[in-house]
Structure 1
Amino acid sequence: MQRHTPLLMLLYPALAIGQTALAASDAELPTVEVRASPVPSVAPLSGQDYSASRVTADGIATFGGPAQTNPYRALDLMPSVNLSGTDAYGLSVDQNFMRIRGVSAYSYSNLAVTVNGTPSSVSAGRGGVGNLFDLENLDGLTLWRGPQPANVGFGMGNLAGSLDLNIKAPTEDPGLRVRTAIGGDHFHKVFARIDTGTFNGGSRLFLSGSTAETDKWRGPGDQSRDTVNAGFNQTLGEHGNLEVYAAHNHFRRDEYRPLTYAQSQDLGTYRDFDFNAELTGIAADDVNYYAYNTQHFDENNVLARLAWDLSEDLQLRFNPYWLSNEGQRSTGKSNTVTVVDIDQEQYGATAELVARLAASQTLTLGYWSQRISTMPPPLSQKVYALDKRGRLVFSKWGILADMGDRAYESPYLQLAGESGRWRYSLGLRYLSFRIPGITSYDGTGLPDVSHDAALALDPAVNARLSTQAVTLDEWLPTLTSRWILTPSLDARTTYGRTVGNPWMGPLYSVYMSNQKAFQKAGIPLQTLWDELQLETSDTVEIGLEWHQGPLSLSPTLFYSRLRDKQVTAYDPLVGVSYLQSGVEATAYGAELEASWGLTRDWILLGGLSWNLNQLDDDIRTASQSVLATSGNQVPDAPEWMVKLGAEYRAGNWSLTPLVRYVGARFGDALNEEEVDAYTTVDLTATYRIGSVAGIQSLEVGLSLLNLFDARYIGTIDVGQDDARPGSIDYYPGAPRTLALSVSANF
Structure 2
Amino acid sequence: MHRDRSLLLLLCPALTLIPGAASAETQLPVIEVTAAPTPSVAPLAEQDYSASHVDRNGLATLGGAAQANPYRALDLMPSVNLSGLDAYGLSVDQNFMRVRGISAYSYSNLAVTVNGTPSSVSTGRGGVGNLFDLENLEGVTLWRGPQPANVGFGLGNLAGSLNLNILAPTAEPGVRTRVAVGGDDFHKLFARLDTGTFNGGSRLFLSGSTAESDQWRGPGDQSRDTVNAGFTQTLGERGGLELYAAHNRFHRDEYRPLTYAQSQDLGTYGDLGYNAELTGVATQDANYYAYNTQHFEEDNLLARLHWDLSETLRLRFNPYWLSSEGQRRVGKTNTVTVVDIDQEQYGATAELVAQIAPDQSLTFGYWSHRVTSMPPPMSQKVYSLDKQGRPVFSKWGILSDMGARAYESPYFQLQGEQGRWRYSLGLRYLSFRLPGITSYDGTGLPDVSHDAALDLNPAVKSSLSTEATTLTAWLPTLSTRFALTPSLDLKGAYGRTVGNPWMGPLYSVYMSNQKAFQKAGITLQTLWDDLALETSDTVELGLQWRRGDLMLTPTLFYSQLRDKQVTAYDPTVGVSYLQSGVEATAYGAELEASWGIDAHWTLVGSLSWNINRLNDDIRTAGSAVLETDGNQVPDAPEWLAKLGVEYRAGNWSLTPIARYVGRRYGDAANQESVDAYATVDLSAAYRVGRVGALQSLEVDLSLINLFDADYIGTIDVGQDDARPGSIDYYPGTPRTLALSLSANF
TM bucket normalised to smaller: over 0.9
Q: State the alpha-carbon separation in 2 of the partners of residues 454 and 559 from structure 1.
A: 51
Give distance in 2, aligned partners of 1:586 and 1:356. 39
**Counterparts of 1:512-527 in structure 2 under 5 Å?**
512-527=511-526
Q: Distance in 1 between matches of 2:358 and 2:87?
A: 51
**Which residues of 2 match residues 561-572 of structure 1 at below 5 A?**
561-572=560-571
Q: 1:121 to 1:623 in 2, by over 3 A?
A: farther
Match of 2:448 in 1: 449
| Structure 1 residues 572-613: Cα deviation after superposition (integer angstroms, max 9, x where no partner) | 000000000000000000000001112211011111100000
- CA–CA distance in 2 between the matches of 1:231 and 1:422? 39
Aligned mates of 2:455, 2:33 — CA distance in 1:
75
Deviates more, 1:55-64 or 1:94-103: 94-103
Q: Distance in 1 between matches of 2:310 and 2:335?
A: 64
Distance of 1:363 and 1:149 partners within structure 2:
12
Matched-pair contact (CA < 8 Å) for 1:645–1:659: yes
**Alpha carbons 2:417, 2:423 under 8 Å: kept:** yes
Tell me the SS of whatever aligns to 2:95. Answer: helix
Structure 2: distance between partners of 1:138 and 1:53: 16
> What residue number does 2:675 align with?
676
Q: Partners in 1 of 2:102 and 2:33 — Cα distance?
A: 45
**1:127 is aligned with what amino acid?**
G
Distance 1:685 1:124 in 2: 37
Cα drift, residue 693 of structure 1: 5.0
Report the alpha carbon displacement of residue 128 of structure 1 after superposing the two structures with TM: 4.9
Task: Tell me by how many angstroms 1:392 deviates.
Answer: 0.4
The corresponding residue for 2:706 is 707
Task: Supply the AA of the counterpart residue of 1:568.
Answer: T
CA distance in 1, matches of 2:537, 2:632: 19
- Which residue in 2 is equivalent to 1:247? 246
Pair 636,511 (structure 1): closer, same or farther in 2 beyond 3 Å: same
SS of equivalent residue, structure 1 residue 213:
strand
Which residue is 1:279 aligned to? 278
TM alignment of 1:91-490, pairs within 5 A: 91-358=90-357, 360-490=359-489
Query: d(CA) in 2 for partners of 1:267 and 1:130?
Result: 30
The answer on whether the counterparts of 1:229 and 1:248 sit within 8 Å (CA) in structure 2 is yes
Query: 1:694 Cα deviation (Å)?
Result: 2.8
* SS, match of residue 620 in structure 2: strand
The alpha carbon displacement at 1:669 in A equals 0.2
Q: Is the 8 A contact 2:129 2:248 kept in 1?
A: no
Distance 2:735 2:134 in 1: 23
Shift of 1:458: 0.5
Q: Structure 1, unaligned stretches of length 5 or more?
A: 1-31
* Cα distance in structure 2, aligned partners of 1:33 and 1:628: 63
- State the SS of the aligned residue for 1:461: coil
The 3-state SS of whatever aligns with 1:132 is: coil
How far off is 1:37 after superposition?
2.3
Using the TM superposition, give the Cα deviation of residue 529 of structure 1 relative to its aligned residue in structure 2, in angstroms: 0.1
User: Which sits farther off after the overlay, 40-49 or 351-360?
Assistant: 351-360
* 8 Å contact kept, 2:119–2:346: no
Matched residue, 2:687: 688
Contact 1:121 1:155 in 2 (8 A): no
Bigger CA radius of gyration: 1
Paired residues of 2:170 and 2:194 also in contact (CA < 8 A): yes
Distance (whole Å) between structure 1 residues aligned to residue 221 and residue 33 of structure 2? 51
Which consecutive unaligned segments of at least 5 residues does structure 2 have?
1-30
* CA distance in structure 1 between the aligned counterparts of 2:672 and 2:126, rounded to whole angstroms: 28
Aligned equivalents of 2:513, 2:559: Cα separation in 1: 36
Instruction: Determine the C-alpha separation between the residues in 1 that align with 2:468 and 2:56.
Output: 43
> Is the 1:232–1:243 Cα contact (8 Å) retained in structure 2?
yes
1:589 maps to: 588
Q: What amino acid is the match of 2:182?
A: G
User: After TM superposition, where is structure 1 displaced by more than 6 Å over at least 4 residues in a row?
Assistant: none
1:200 CA drift (Å): 0.3
| SS of residue matched to 2:301 | strand
CA contact (8 A) 2:36 2:601 kept: no
Q: Identical aligned pairs, as a percentage?
A: 80
Tell me how far 1:690 sits from its aligned partner: 2.2
Equivalent pair of 1:641/1:663 in contact (CA under 8 Å): yes
Check whether the contact 2:119–2:302 (CA below 8 A) recurs between aligned residues. no
Q: 3-state DSSP class of the match of 1:149?
A: coil
- Give CA-to-partner distance per residue, 1:24-61, whole Å, 9 cap, x none: xxxxxxxx988222100000000000000000000000
Q: TM-score, normalised by structure 2?
A: 0.95
What SS does the corresponding residue of 1:396 show, helix, strand or coil?
A: strand
In structure 1, what is the Cα distance between the partners aligned to 2:587 and 2:713? 23
Deviation at 1:692, TM superposition (A): 3.4
Partners of 1:107 and 1:129 within 8 A in 2: no
Equivalence for 1:723: 722
Structure 1 Cα separation of the partners of residues 293 and 126 of structure 2:
11
Q: Distance in 2 between matches of 1:34 and 1:335?
A: 65
For residues 470 and 83 of structure 2, the distance between their equivalents in structure 1, rounded to whole angstroms, comes to 36
Q: What is the Cα deviation at residue 390 of structure 1?
A: 0.1
Residues 122, 344 of structure 1: 8 Å contact kept: no
Would you say the 8 A contact 1:122–1:325 is kept in 2?
no
Tell me the SS of whatever aligns to 1:91: coil
Q: State the AA in 2 paired with 1:173.
A: E
Contact 2:186 2:213 in 1 (8 A): yes
How far is 1:677 from its partner? 0.3
Match of 2:609 in 1: 610
Question: What displacement does 1:124 show?
Answer: 4.4
TM-fit CA distance, 1:121: 3.7
- For residue 149 of structure 1, what is the amino acid of its counterpart? P
CA distance, structure 2, for counterparts of residue 297 and residue 697 of structure 1: 36
Alignment-derived partner of residue 18 in structure 2: none
Tell me the residue number matched to 2:7: none
Deviation at 1:84, TM superposition (A): 1.1
**Cα RMSD (Å) of the superposition?**
1.0
Q: Secondary structure at the match of 2:443?
A: coil
Q: Conserved in 2, the CA contact under 8 Å of 1:146 and 1:539? A: yes
2:337 & 2:325 partners in 1: Cα distance?
A: 17
SS of residue matched to 1:526: helix
Any conservation in 1 of the 2:108–2:156 contact (CA below 8 Å)? yes
Distance 2:470 2:526 in 1: 13
Hey, what's the Cα distance between the residues in 2 that align with 1:514 and 1:269?
Answer: 39
**1:559 corresponding residue in structure 2:** 558
Shift of residue 130 of structure 1?
A: 4.7
Counterpart-to-counterpart distance in 2, 1:506 and 1:672: 24
Asked if the contact 1:122/1:345 (under 8 Å) is kept, the reply is no
Letter in 2 for 1:340: V
User: Can you list the C-alpha shifts for 1:658-679, whole angstroms capped at 9, x where unaligned?
Assistant: 0000000000000000000000
Aligned position for 1:501: 500
Partners in 1 of 2:98 and 2:32 — Cα distance? 46
Q: CA deviation at 1:653?
A: 1.1
Give 1:655 shift.
1.3
SS in 1 for 2:65: coil
Residues 396 and 444, structure 1, Cα contact 8 Å, conserved in 2: yes
Aligned residues: 715
Distance 1:152 1:125, change over 3 A: same
Contact 1:108–1:121 (8 Å) recurs in 2 = no
Q: Give, in angstroms, the shift of residue 550 of structure 1.
A: 1.3
CA deviations on 1:132-191 (whole Å, 9 max, x unpaired) are: 000000000000000000000000000000000000000001000000000000000000
Please say if residues 187 and 212 of structure 1, whose CA atoms lie closer than 8 Å, have aligned partners that are also in contact: yes
Check 1:390–1:172 CA distance in 2 against 1; reply closer, same or farther (3 A cut).
same
Structure 2 Cα separation of the partners of residues 479 and 162 of structure 1: 16
* Amino acid of the structure 2 residue aligned with 1:654: S
| Contact kept in structure 1, 2:52 and 2:77, CA below 8 Å | yes
Asked if 1:663 corresponds to 2:649, the answer is: no
Structure 1 residues 438, 128: CA separation in 2 closer, same or farther (over 3 Å shift)? Answer: closer
